Amino acid sequence: MAHLAETYACVPATERGRGILISGDPRSDTITYCNGRSVIIRQLGAPLEPSIYGEHAYQATVARFSPNGEWVATADVSGVIRIWGRYGDRALKNEFRVLSGRIDDLQWSPDGLRIVACGDGKGKSFVRAFMWDSGTNVGEFDGHSRRVLSCAFKPTRPFRIVTCGEDFLVNFYEGPPFKFKLSHREHSNFVNCVRFSPDGSKFITVSSDKKGLIYDGKTGEKIGELPMEDGHKGSIYAGSWSPDSKQVLTVSADKTAKVWEIMEDGCGKLRRTLECPGSGGVDDMLVGCLWQNDFLVIVSLGGTITIFSASDLEKPPVSFSGHMKSITSLVCLLQGGQKVFLSGSYDGIITRWIQGTGYVGKVVRKGSSQIKCLAAVGEEIITSGFDNKVWRIPLNDDQCGDTEPVDVGSQPRGIAVAVQIPELALVSIDSGVVMLRGLKVISEIKLGYAVTTSAISPDGTEAVVGAEDGKLHIYSISGDTLTEEAVLEKHRGTITAICYSPDASMFASADSNREAVVWDRESREVKLKNMLYHTARINCLAWSPDNHLIATGSLDTNVIVYELDKPASNRITIKGAHLGGVYGVAFGDENSLISAGEDACVRVWKIEPQ
């Protein structure tokens, strides 16, 4: 049996030039955001146990808890809102198609009976408010001509709704049933976010024209603004009120967050400017914020979440990150006596994780090119991307040493490295393999067939090369030449993964026809077959350190663990490990399996053999 021990969640998906909206539940100290098709609910006190909802058919954009904390309303780019129960089996309460385009913001009414949603209506309605259980409309929202970026519901009676959008307008509606009351055109650029203070007396709009304006909550008249002298120097993407309605947090593209005090008459005064730690690049632009209880949660464009303490603004913040895009490879490295996992995603981000702690850091590389293949051995990592270069980078915690790339002639399709002889690496390219010793290409061997992946035995004397037609070619390595020893034909699909067991007595191979086979190295006989339980291409495979278990991860989102001395039918299946497919598996120790996949999350599973 296998059960989930830890999840290292992904970070919110961000887009340059737009803010993102994260929300939370103050009662249980949770924040929620979206990435891809998943909605992530994260407890600030227990970061290793997020819960992830993956039922949307399209990319999810915004998620909000209902005022009583029982329900969650989530919206996606197709204009659909799903309302589901937060606890238990997440039963779907209702699903409505609210707009004909993407939904950018949604908010519950304070009594939990109505929901207002806004977004891109493709020329038709841009905003809709409806009853949560029946979906009946509760107002007419005209007045906008372009995408509506944010909407807000007044948290106290009498109910009001404010919307703001790309047409620079801020519209005020009275109701229910909601009708247009007045409109403001005070901003000179996109109005990114509108939020009511928790006591309902005021609301603030922030815009890409670097201004923040404050209005009266009941009448909608402008009463003040955030002073320009200490103001932001870049577009303001989001704002959030403090629970006592006296302060506002704003985040901006100028990479700072500011806390303002808002007086009774609506004037604002800068209280403090917060700088988030970062390297100073585009990725540090701040795009989302949330003020919840004592926490100021700030999200940057690169996906880093920084948490400040509201009561003690001087205290250095806690920051953590993760992946934003799908993870393509996962390797395990021993660093300073500790097992560290490196996960690489195709956009070039490599993140370090330690079991039990979670996010430890990001590997900062020079020239973060995209990553297709990643291998790690000793104190080095070897990466290759979509160009012809292979980088061998010495790793010192999370700092990378200086290194030069090696040009291998064509795009590498796989990298294999000999565990005991780290300088020896085999790079598979389209028509052959290239042998590298250190940073030098010692030989380029044309093999006459399309190579997909390869593996070198830990002692560096033997290599197995997998071909596109399903054949496994075994070569012995001597100096800089490969001599073909045998060809094994059993697979019925392109070979996708080959891995030697840690004691080098066996190797396992997997193909795109869902089959995995374990071979004995000496005799080249099949040791364990019929490992056919996946329903789609196998992407990755890994051996446990005691040579006893083999794990395979596949595009069908499952991870299957087989025991070597039992028949293949006695397998342990982990269903739905990663939405979209599993792209990397590795063993932490005998009983823990780490997997990473398309949903940009890394999960740790504890395996109990039967």
Partner 1 sequence: MGVAEHSKITFLELQRKKVHRYVIFKIDEKKKEVVVEKTGAPGESYDDFTAALPENDCRYAVYDFDYVTEDNCQKSKIFFIAWSPSISRIRAKMLYATSKDRIRHELDGIHYEIQATDPTEMELEVLRDRAS
Residues that bind partner 1 (CB under 8 A): 492, 530, 532-533, 569
CB 564, min distance to partner 1, A: 18
CB 2, min distance to partner 1, A: 18
CB 559, min distance to partner 1, A: 17
Q: What one-letter code names the amino acid at 592?
A: S
Give CA–CA dist 582/125, Å, rounded. 39
CB 484, min distance to partner 1, A: 25
Strand partners, 333: 340
- For partner 1, the closer CB: 228 or 487: 487
Q: What one-letter code names the amino acid at 237?
A: Y
CB 585, min distance to partner 1, A: 20
- For partner 1, the closer CB: 206 or 518: 518
Q: Do residues 247 and 253 touch, judged by C-beta distance below 8 A?
A: no
| SS3 readout for 239-278 | EEECCCCCEEEEEECCCEEEEEEECCCCCEEEEEEEECCC
- For partner 1, the closer CB: 188 or 569: 569
Strand partners, 80: 97
Antiparallel, parallel or unpaired: β 526-531 and 538-543: unpaired
Token reading at 309: 């303490």
Q: Give the residue among 148, 159, 50, 56 at the shortest CA–CA distance from 112.
A: 159
Q: Do residues 42 and 30 touch, judged by C-beta distance below 8 A?
A: yes
CB 522, min distance to partner 1, A: 23
- For partner 1, the closer CB: 438 or 567: 567
- For partner 1, the closer CB: 420 or 573: 573
Q: Which distant-in-sequence residues (6+ apart) come within 8 Å of 523 by Cβ?
A: none
Give the Å distances, CA to CA, from 11 to 22, 35, 233, 238, 431.
Answer: 11, 7, 26, 17, 38
Q: Give the residue among 610, 592, 609 at the shortest CA–CA distance from 542.
A: 592
- For partner 1, the closer CB: 408 or 516: 516
CB 607, min distance to partner 1, A: 20
CB 243, min distance to partner 1, A: 54
Give the Å distances, CA to CA, from 152 to 24, 162, 262.
Answer: 15, 5, 19
Antiparallel, parallel or unpaired: β 305-309 and 295-300: antiparallel
Exposed / middle / buried, residue 286 (Cβ in 10 Å: 0-12, 13-18, 19+): buried
- For partner 1, the closer CB: 46 or 526: 526
- For partner 1, the closer CB: 531 or 540: 531
Q: Give the residue among 427, 458, 420, 455 at the shortest CA–CA distance from 441.
A: 427
- For partner 1, the closer CB: 233 or 492: 492
Give CA–CA dist 499/394, Å, rounded. 23
- For partner 1, the closer CB: 28 or 569: 569
CB 495, min distance to partner 1, A: 17
Q: Give the residue among 24, 10, 109, 16 at the shortest CA–CA distance from 65.
A: 24
Residue 178 DSSP symbol: B
Q: Give the residue among 207, 203, 201 at the shortest CA–CA distance from 186.
A: 207
Q: Is 283 helix (H, G, I), strand (E, B) or coil?
A: helix
Residue 568 DSSP symbol: T
CB 573, min distance to partner 1, A: 12
CB 513, min distance to partner 1, A: 9
Residue 213 DSSP symbol: E
- For partner 1, the closer CB: 396 or 569: 569
- For partner 1, the closer CB: 98 or 508: 508
Token reading at 412: 């590498």
Q: What one-letter code names the amino acid at 172?
A: F
- For partner 1, the closer CB: 257 or 531: 531
CB 488, min distance to partner 1, A: 15
| CB environment 372-406: b (16+ within 10 A), e (fewer) | bbbbbbbebbbbbbeeebbbbbebeebebeeeebb
- For partner 1, the closer CB: 311 or 610: 610
Sign of CA dihedral 579, 581, 586, 589: positive
CB 491, min distance to partner 1, A: 11
CB 568, min distance to partner 1, A: 8
